[in-house]
Chain A
Amino acid sequence: MCDVGNAKIVEMMGSSRGVQGWFTLGHAQVYHDHFVVAQLEEGIVVDLMGQGDGKPQVCMEMSYESARQLAEALLEAVETYAPRKAEAAVS
């Protein structure tokens, strides 16, 4: 915190919907920082960036527990469905 350049960058393939409608995802930034809106002192931030000017189109400030549960839910969904799609593609 009070630090710069510590984000983990995830290249994204997909779409998201922000205040200006749907956009094609470019990448996501995941990091630990102070919050600017959420009424918690600090936590996990995810910025979803488009493919344009590098500004976040969607920004999430999450408590550590919310971030953990979201991450677990994402992993569970991926592990449940991604192999089936891969198998279906092969067969």
Chain B
Amino acid sequence: MTVQNYEGLIAENIQFPGDNGDLIGGYLARPLGAGPFPGVIVIHEIFGLWPDIKEFARRFATQGYIALAPDLYWREGYSKMTDPSEVRAALQAGGGVPDARVIGDLAGAATYLRSLPTCSGKTGCIGYCAGGRNAMLFACNTSSLDAVVDCYGGRIVTDETSPNAPVPVIQMVKDLSCPLLGLFGEEDGNPSPEHVAAMEEELKKHGKTYEFHNYDGAGHAFFHPWRPNYRVEASVDGWQKVFDFFGKHLKVEEAARV
């Protein structure tokens, strides 16, 4: 995890065009050097764009990536709420967002990243928890990604549909457009080891490039150090695998520019 020519970073709230051209909010963390740097979309978990995901975005910036964490609940105004428990209550009251809009917002994020003058044009995507599902959802509905990371995304392997999610993501795997890294906990209930195995089977069936790691003694959300779910061994190894994976697929031109 070394960074050459690192000169500092800037992190700030921004707005960019999302689905339907609507301006939506996001948190952009970028190195201050001349670049070119790959872009990474960092997708929040179900509770929204809170400081934990912003911290993850800054971590990518320290490693030489331009990281954009979009606020997928911008239109609902959840970011104006004062506590994640309010977002959770609103979601449980039926306040989910449509998959089609999520795809449009993430496409807007990818376009925005590539438009930045210091961006190399290579673009990856990573999501945590529900964001892991949204990362997969996007990667199966775009040709604009060079790599995707699913960190324990639930509800990918399901038969259930809803007006917001009319097609289960597992049925979209045949259209996965880029290499996939999947990081999962053996003790997770959603995705369970059976869900992960079903996903792997689908990836193999369609000849997709993927790399899965299942951590013993870890459950859901093991990357989050402020929660009891945190598992230091899985988290440390997982971060390394993420940077190795993105380094391989997004920084292929680095040697030429250093």
Contact = CB atoms under 8 A, between A and B. Distances in A.
Interface of A: 1-7, 9, 29, 31, 33-37, 39-41, 45, 47, 49, 54-56, 59, 61
27 contacts: A1-B154, A2-B45, A2-B46, A2-B129, A2-B130, A2-B133, A2-B153, A2-B220, A4-B91, A4-B95, A5-B93, A6-B92, A7-B92, A33-B92, A34-B46, A34-B47, A36-B47, A36-B84, A36-B85, A47-B88, A47-B89, A49-B89, A54-B89, A55-B89, A56-B85, A56-B89, A59-B85
B118 interface: no
B220 A7 contact: no
A61 to B, nearest CB: 8
A39 B228 contact: yes
B2 to A, nearest CB: 34
Contact of B83 (A33, A36, A49): A36
Contact of B85 (A5, A6, A37): A37
Given A34-B220, A41-B229, A54-B89, 8 more contacts: A3-B155, A4-B95, A4-B164, A34-B129, A41-B219, A47-B88, A55-B81, A55-B86
Interface string B55-94: 0000000000000000000000000010111101111111
A54 B93 contact: yes
B227 interface: yes
8 A-B pairs with the lowest CB-CB distances in the bound complex, closest first: A4-B96, A7-B92, A2-B154, A4-B91, A36-B84, A47-B89, A56-B89, A5-B94
Given A34-B221, A55-B86, A55-B89, A5 B189 contact: no
Interface string B195-229: 00000000000000000000000011100000111
A64 B47 CA distance: 21
A4 to B, nearest CB: 4
Interface string B96-109: 10000000000000
B155 A2 contact: yes
Contacts of A4: 46, 91-92, 94-96, 164
Nearest to A58: B85
B190 interface: yes
Contacts of A9: 93
A29 to B, nearest CB: 6
